[in-house]
Amino acid sequence: MTHSINWIRDNFETFLKLTKARNFKDFELETLLKIDEERRNLILQTQELQNTRNNLAKQIGKSKGEPDKYNDLMKQSTNLKSTLSELEEKTKQKQADLDYLLDRIPNILQDSVPHGADENDNVEIKKWGNVPVFSHLVKDHAELGIAVQMMDFETAAQNSGSRFVYLYSKLAKLERALINFALAELETEGFTEVSPPLMVNSKAYYGTGQLPKFEGDFFKAEEDKFLISTAEISLANIFNNKIVAESELSTKYCAATPCFRSEAGSSGKDTKGMIRMHQFYKVEMVIASTPEKSDEEHLKMLAITEKLLQKLELPYRVINLCSGDIGFSANKTYDIECWMPAQNKYREVASISNTGDFQARRMMARFKRSDVSGKGKNEYIHLLNGTAIACGRILCCLLENNQQPNGSIKLPPALHKYLGFEGV
């Protein structure tokens, strides 16, 4: 369970202040306490009746020579058994009601997260690079890709529906080059590359916080099998129900996978081009850390993604997400937004999040503290996740920022050895 009901009950005012930062509805928390009180009353009644039944059992054992008394006590015991069964069912239902609400309470935010209602209240931390100035009419990535006959939305729509694309020739190679470029850089940063499952069960989705609240955001393949919306789900759940040694932390994993998202609720948003797709490739990072090092690892992860974008020579800015825009599982998130000339604005290309022990509690991911006695206690690990390269969006940024008057594209030197060519 993500949140401790005992801690919430004992520190309700503090918890209320923390959840208000996320605009969490007060009445739901009041309902939580009410259900918890009813559950505890049922448990108390059950315990009292169990004690009564135990006493009856002793009396029954002593009354076997007294038929009338014996029969009367047996009748009472039978009635108690029936009542206990009803109480146990009611208790199970109250526990289920309690779990339902607890599972839908988001992570508690760090103090450094700015308060705000939505993305308009996010705080810009810094910018890097110069926004390009063009002497010709700026085209968007879709126009550029279609013009060179390497980006095909029409055929994809015929075969798969909207929000899919065929990439050909140099653009297909560019997508693959971005993956190889990012993985090579992450290897130098101490990450272990993983080829993970692309389908996971509901337990794995629950562990990272996508279930039960966000089931409509991803694709169900079959009974209790879901396509991953990000490699974070497969990578973080490597620690599901495990206890690792403190010496094994910080563990760093990365993976390049296709990601599948239903984009529920995004009707009308970015319907043109490759910005919001049902399927896209992404290189993802996950770090399992000790609690005292997780903030440091968070900043390191941010620096890695920044370094990749700098090598790709893409102008970007770093955003500290406010309380009204941050994800369900995160306690702090930095977004990186790259400049998109055709839209004349920065667009998100990476998200770097610290979840603290939120995900670890859901998946029972723990580590054993080092102790000279060999009896170090178990604690929850801290899990962090971040985008290294979102291939589709970065491809779009590369096309738009490097377009030439004749419609060709110059690509940054950092990619040349992965491509075998210098432009499109």
Known catalytic residues are 261, 276, 348, 351, 393
Q: Is there a contact between 46 and 91 (Cβ–Cβ < 8 Å)?
A: yes
Report cis status (omega within 30 of 0) of the bond before 353.
no
Distance CA 38, CA 95 (A): 10
Reduced 3-state DSSP string for 88-153: HHHHHHHHHHHHHHHCCCCCCCCCCCCCCCCHHHCEEEEEECCCCCCCCCCCCHHHHHHHCCCEEH
Residue type, 166: Y
Cβ pair 254, 285 in contact under 8 A: yes
| β-bridge pairing 251-260 and 279-289 | antiparallel
Handedness of CA 202, 207, 212, 215 (dihedral sign): negative
Q: Cα separation of 367 and 359, whole Å? A: 14
CB 232 within 8 A of CB 379: no
For residue 177 the two structure tokens come to: 């080059």
Which distant-in-sequence residues (6+ apart) come within 8 Å of 267 by Cβ? none
